[in-house]
Structure 1
Amino acid sequence: MRRDLLIGGAALLSILAGVGVFLAPDPRPDPTVSRGREVYAANCAVCHGQQLEGQPDWQSPAANGRLPAPPHDKTGHSWHHSDALLLSIIALGTAAVVGDGYESDMPGFAGALTPEDMEAVLAFIKSTWPEREAKYQRRVSGVE
């Protein structure tokens, strides 16, 4: 009886260990997110912050009448917009996307970054959002 318990326990532990391997998160970093973190640090963080926190009082116009850079974390509104819109803003700049005389300090990066780099930046930003915000943004993007 005791031998059967030991064999059964060992079998159960083996099964649970195998399940754990399949359920454990992949410890390797996503190369696109890693690249996006680098590109963000070199091109975006100067305005949007190293921690994606944006500029203070980002919802109130600055002295020049333009809105300061918003945060890209969950406290901002980036997650309210589709991937297509966010990539357009990164490529063309906010004023070009909004049009109608809108003024913004957000430049377009189409001449400075490759499309892959812009997608990597967006992947990095999205990787920081909690599930609630990420799920909403996937829905807005038509992914979910």
Structure 2
Amino acid sequence: MTRRIRFGALAAVLAIVIGSAVFFLAKPGAEKDIVRLQPDAAELVRLGADIYMQNCASCHGDDLKGEPDWMDANPDGTLKAPPHDETGHTWHHQDELLFRITKHGTAKALGLQDFKSNMPAFDGALTDTEIIAVLSWIKAQWPQEVRARHDLINAQGGAPSS
């Protein structure tokens, strides 16, 4: 009888732990899948190029060069649109963070309270697939060496050491 009680208690604890994990992981707004850019997926990259030109190029440039003097703030304190080519810092960030910034906006993605940004959140304007397509197109434009370094950043889970 004691063995059955221990087994029942263990089963109850496991059910609570599993139920809590499911509830926590299924919170509304939580990205459920690991985001991975696909710069070698030709059709997705073509879609991303079109979406980039329609939604991003006006600020970040047709050539991904960003705004002139992008490291200097605007008079209102907002930051200028950075380049998304190899000269910028985009490739220093993991796929998942790039996705969150694009979908939710910089302040929400980074949990910043009083951060002003001209970067819009595209949640509701673009689907997750469209966001991944744009980011995949951007990555497809980087030199192979930068793409390889970005892959390492994703694998290591952080920013580059240099």
Normalising to structure 1: TM-score of the pair? 0.77
**How many aligned residue pairs are there?**
116
**Residue 100 of structure 1: how far off its partner (Å):** 3.1
Contact 1:95 1:106 in 2 (8 A): no
| Aligned match for 2:141, one of 114, 117, 128 | 128
| Aligned match for 1:39, one of 51, 54, 59 | 51
CA distance in 2, matches of 1:140, 1:31: 25
Normalising to structure 2: TM-score of the pair? 0.68
Q: Say which is worse superposed, 131-140 or 114-123, in terms of deviation.
A: 131-140
Taking only aligned residues, the RMSD between alpha carbons, in angstroms, comes to 1.6
Q: What is the match of residue 51 of structure 1? A: 63
CA distance in 2, matches of 1:53, 1:136: 20
CA distance in 2, matches of 1:97, 1:33: 24
2:151 is the alignment partner of 1:138: yes
Q: Which has the larger radius of gyration?
A: 1
Q: Which runs of 5+ in 2 are unaligned?
A: 1-40, 157-162
Show the 5 A alignment for 1:54-133.
Answer: 54-98=66-110, 99-133=112-146
Q: Which runs of 5+ in 1 are unaligned?
A: 1-28
Structure 1: 4+ residue segments shifted above 4 A: none
CA distance in 2, matches of 1:88, 1:127: 19
% of aligned pairs identical? Answer: 43
